[in-house]
Amino acid sequence: MNLFKHLTVLLTLVLGVGLVRAADSGKMKVILDTDIGGDIDDAWALGFVISHSGFDPLGVTICDGNTPARAKVACKLLYLTGRDQIPVAVGRKTHDGNDYQFAWAEDFEALKPIGQPAADFIIQTAKKYPGEVTLLAVGPLENVADALRKEPGLAKLFKRVVLMSGNIYRSAWNKEPIAEWNVVASTKDSQVVYAAGLPLTIVPLDSTTLVQLKDEERERVRKHDSPLTRSLECLYRLWIDSPGSRMTLHDQLAVAETASPGTFYGKQETLPLVVDDKGFTRIDREKGKPVVVCLEPKRDAFMEFYIGKLTSKRLER
């Protein structure tokens, strides 16, 4: 009987440790909303999301412009890297524009988007995992706004919403704030999102314009020679329009903030923000909703983390 008791206690301890380890190893549930296929940082951000072991990517939703063509780029990247179990949902098409990166996937048919519209996918997923999902949106905000219009209680279901969005004080490009592209490209939708009372964090131009990819960093990724890094290099070559072109890491900085909140910024301010009718993100003490704003990027720490993820393992089919 004493032996049985000892074995029972030992088994309980082992199972308890296992349960603790299982809880500790829980991955962050993430939806990436992206206008992939325009600027190059979107594809390299998707690569970041699927190569970070701390993420559980629940889906990729496609926003802005020629969304069916953008979706093919996302589908091909997921397929080639063996992550084709991640669903791709297409948002509403806002124009028929073309982009050189679309050529990379124009004949690709091996993996197709799901039939469910992006906004409905966002709603369904948030309801399935209430309080667990982080929505990471790095393009214009049509899908997020459409989801909020369809489901008024959606704001309470997210654990966190992180945007590459806005410009508060200045940037490396301008001494005064400008109407940042992701906001002004769909101003009314941006107004809906910023006013919704979401648990919102933004990574603005104030930070992102300070970080560009160096030649030696690109070469480090290229030399890794995996399905992911080969795909990213191909897309980079389609995007580049002159020998002097360099990627600004807008969206990747938002991915890093999602992965490790606050780690890669020297300052984070909580500010009451609104989007005005011209697409500017303004501080408004009376009407603004609280938004965490990421400032003063720690470039070296971020780049080591980011490049390390892209080259840490070989995503294969």
R_g of the chain computed on alpha carbons = 21
Residue 191 to residue 282: CA distance in whole angstroms: 11
Report the b/e string of 9-37 with b at 16+ CB within 10 A. eeeeeeeeeeeeeeeeeeebbbbbbbbbb
Domains in the chain with CATH codes: 29-310 (3.90.245.10)
Inter-CA distances, 186 with 189, 238, 263, Å: 6, 26, 30
Helix axes 299-310, 227-239, angle to 10 degrees: 120
- Vertex 287 angle, CA 284 and 288, to 5°: 60
Q: Give the pLDDT of the chain (317 residues) as one tens digit per residue.
A: 454 444 443 434 334 434 333 333 589 999 999 999 999 999 999 999 999 999 999 999 999 999 999 999 999 999 999 999 999 999 999 999 999 999 999 999 999 999 999 999 999 999 999 999 999 999 999 999 999 999 989 999 999 999 999 999 999 999 999 999 999 999 999 999 999 999 999 999 999 999 999 999 999 999 998 999 999 999 999 999 988 899 999 999 999 999 999 999 999 999 999 999 999 999 999 999 999 999 999 999 999 999 999 998 766 66
pTM value surpassing 0.95: no
User: Which tokens hold the place of 125?
Assistant: 């997923």
